[in-house]
Copies of this chain bind each other. A is one copy, B any other.
Amino acid sequence: MTQDDITLKLRDVRAASGLSLSKVAEMTGVSKAMLGQIERGESSPTIATLWKIAKGFQLPLSALIGSSVLRDPTDESLFRTVTFPGSIEVKIVFPYDPVLGAETFHVDLAPNQSHESAAHAAGVTEEVFVLNGSLEILRDGEWVPLQSGQGLRFAADLPHGYRAGPQGAAFLNMHHYGQAG
Contact = CB atoms under 8 A, between A and B. Distances in A.
A71 B123 contact: yes
Contacts of A63: 96, 98
Given A18-B116, A85-B19, A101 B12 contact: no
A67 B73 contact: no
Nearest to A9: B121
Contacts of A27: 85
A121 B8 contact: yes
B23 A85 contact: yes
Looking at A62, A87, A93, which has the most chain B CB atoms within 10 Å of its CB?
A62
A18 B117 contact: yes
A100 B46 contact: no
